[in-house]
């Protein structure tokens, strides 16, 4: 099954980033027909596209359906996916040599019973 229209001959729908779909059909619309439309739309849209599909029932339509598609992001340059990685390092206080000397003297006093 192909998506085609004389109005869309020179337009590439692949890679669309947002797609709104309306299926208009009679009361005889079957679930497998609904799924076929949805799968066809998802096949041409970008993998991370937002696809919303809805239906309208028209009692005058029998054994037919009409699909209306509104797509955004067509023809946009493909940008590489960016993953943010943060390196969190635990910072430990740095003792200066004077503090270390005082700490050593206090430690020596504790050992001598002070």
Q: Where are the domains positioned within the chain?
A: 6-111
pLDDT the model gives residue 42: 83
Range 6-111 classified under CATH 3.30.1330.20: yes
pLDDT-based confidence at residue 1 (cuts at 50, 70, 90): very low
- Whether pTM > 0.75 for this model: the answer is no
pLDDT the model gives residue 45: 81
CA atoms within 13 A on the CB side of 55: 16
- The model's pLDDT over 75-110, given as tens digits with 9 standing for 90+, comes to 665 556 667 677 776 666 666 555 555 656 655 555
pLDDT the model gives residue 46: 80
């Amino acid at each position: 099954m192909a998506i085609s229209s004389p109005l869309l001959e020179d337009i590439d729908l692949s890679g669309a980033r947002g797609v709104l779909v309306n299926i208009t059909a009679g009361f005889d619309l079957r679930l497998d027909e609904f799924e076929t439309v949805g799968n066809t739309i998802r096949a041409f849209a970008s993998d991370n596209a937002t696809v919303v599909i809805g239906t309208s029932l028209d009692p005058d339509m029998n054994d037919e359906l009409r699909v209306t598609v509104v797509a955004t992001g067509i023809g946009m340059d493909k940008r590489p996916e960016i993953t943010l990685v943060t390196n969190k390092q635990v910072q430990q206080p740095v003792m200066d040599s004077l503090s270390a000397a005082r700490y050593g003297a206090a430690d020596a006093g504790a050992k001598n019973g002070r």
